[in-house]
Amino acid sequence: MSYQINTTTTTPISVGTTQTAPTTGPMKININLNTSTTSPVMIDTNMDTSTTTAISIDACLNTSTTSAVTITPVLNGNLTITVGMNLLYYTVGNIVTVTDSVDSNNYFDGTIETYNCMTGVLNINSIQNINGTFTSSVVYNVLTNGLGSVMATVSPNLIFYAPGNPIILSDSTDPSNFLEGTVQTYVYATGALVVNQITATGTFGMPVIYNAALTMSTTISSTSLPLSVTVSDSLIYYVPGNPILLTDSVCPFNYLNATISSYTYGTGDLVVNNISSSGAFIVNVVFDLTVTPTNSSIPLTIGTGLSAYNTPGNPVTIVDSTNSANYLNGYIQTYDSTTGQIVVDTIQNINGSFGSSVVYNVDLSIVLGGKITIPIPAGLTFYTGQSVYVSSSTNSNNSFAGIVEEYGFGTGLLTISSLQNITGAFVETVIYIVSLSTPFPIYPTQAYKSVYVPIQPAPPQPYPDYTNVINYASDQATYPSANYGYKKFGFNSRTSLNNPVRGFSLGHATCFTNNFCLARK
């Protein structure tokens, strides 16, 4: 009998397929990193623009009803009055105080529910602090103390006019009159812009063109709007979170760096965000796209109720049913046993060609937590409970680990269970290398345990079962014949070759590790 740390399978083997699930219909897999928009896209990276028409802005905090009115405020109620138009600070949510212009003892507070800057119609709700009487028809003064907002229309397709970005609106006829605020909303297709949290400097009231300028840098990528385009379908590397480069196909000096926000597999609808730009973008052009393949995934539909596919992390091989030379490997991310929807990610080991619409087989090979039996040489020192590591002799990235469940001393058949740390692909017939992680399991619950190992030379077959022999004194041995036997040694995790445990002599043994020795009779 021989002791070896490493061995190999006796012949090339295929780890094999334990289960196959075909896709429910033909589908495409596109492994390209590069694609293009299906049509020209308009992107404007300018930070500056202007209102499309002259607008009137009233920066006053106070206004009044346009005529004498009779109103009846009710606690927590609401009412409607008409005041001046284009009032900058009369925005939804701001608090207003409404006061009788004849008798200031008659007043109440409320919250702006809606305000139409074109008509001056003001709806007030959540009425509080009602004081005095409200029986006469009078003009009412209205005062607000909140931050203002303004609506305008500017150029469309401004990629950096994202909500939250700081902006300045300045009078084109007198730049000393300007508003500082924040982009609240911007409609990419129409240019409709709402700016809020405004503070005003200068005088306002006349209708003028306002120049708009963002006061942030394009290098701050998180301040861009999402950009929606359509590209090729079935791109496995177009996964949310992957970095992507969009380059002007006419002038490659113009480009955008971005991150994939979403991608619809099958339609090619792509949304990118976190954009930073270089160059100028003022016309419709086709953009060329290149993704950095940090992540990858393929959504497929297979049969329902397949329990073997329920374990995320199990490796699978996706094989072209019309040509088995076209295959790739990945890991189960999710599987819905009700719908049959399965997502395979971390794509690797791509072989052959892809792009045609075919049925693919989704094959399970070795399974996390499962077991496998492989042939290795007979007569080796493999014991139940040992940890082993198995790797392909042609590609060490294809490997897995497990625990020895059974070893046939005479047959060489090794059964490994509790499979874990499964990486790579198992689609080829190759020699596999089997390595022992530890020669014997360690027993931390007792200071000393008994280990029985055959003495050299190896006795004839069959060997007696020595794995269950226990409770022998340290100097005892069992000999099946005059020349062969099994010697018992005590050991613990603190043993070293210079400090052997009781009942053991270094002169009578060959020691391979601190916890494993072979003795010769």
User: DSSP per residue over 407-440, as a string?
Assistant: E-TTT-EEEEEEEEEEES---S-B-EEEEES-SS
**In a shared domain, residues 384 and 427:** yes
Helix, strand, or coil (residue 48): strand
- Domain span holding position 91: 62-145
- Overall pTM > 0.75: no
Q: Are residues 432 and 480 in the same domain?
A: no
Token match 């702006």: residue? 112
pLDDT by 10-residue block (mean), the chain, 521 residues: 64 70 87 89 83 76 90 94 85 88 93 88 94 93 80 88 89 91 89 86 84 70 74 92 92 90 91 85 83 91 85 84 88 92 90 90 78 86 88 87 90 87 76 73 31 39 37 34 34 33 35 35 28
Q: Which residues pair with 269 in a beta bridge?
A: 230
Answer yes or no: do 244 and 301 share one domain.
no
Instruction: Supply 288's token pair.
Output: 């060329």
Q: Give one DSSP letter per residue of 440-475, joined into a string.
A: S---TTSS-EEEEEEPBSPPPSSPP--TT-----TT
Q: Domain with 330 in it: what CATH number?
A: 2.40.30
> Do 209 and 239 have their domain in common?
no
CA 158/CA 46 separation, integer angstroms: 7
Work out how many domains the chain is built from and give that number.
6
Which residues, at least 6 apart from 482, have a Cβ–Cβ distance to it below 8 Å? none
Q: Is residue 387 part of a domain?
A: yes
356 and 372 within one domain: no
Q: Are residues 163 and 186 in the same domain?
A: yes
Polymer length of the chain: 521
- Whether 83 and 141 map to the same domain: the answer is yes
Q: Give backbone dihedrals phi and psi of 506, rounded to 5 degrees, phi first.
A: -60, -25
Contact indicator for 520, 455 with CB cutoff of 8 Å: yes
Residues 308 and 284 in one domain: no
Within a domain: 93: yes
| CATH number for position 425 | 2.40.10.170
In this structure, are 102 and 83 located in the same domain? yes
* Span 133-165, pLDDT tens digits: 999 999 999 988 766 778 889 988 888 888 888
Task: Please report whether residue 1 resides in a domain.
Answer: no
Burial profile 312-334: b = 16 or more Cβ within 10 angstroms, e = fewer: eebbbbbbbeeeeebbbbbbbee
Residue 321 placed within a domain = yes
CA atoms within 13 A on the CB side of 91: 17
192 and 133 belong to one structural domain? no
For CA atoms 346, 351, 357, 362, the dihedral sign is negative
**DSSP summary character for residue 118:** T
**Other beta carbons within 10 Å of 360:** 25
**pLDDT single digits (tens) 316-359:** 889 999 998 898 888 889 999 999 999 999 898 888 999 889 99
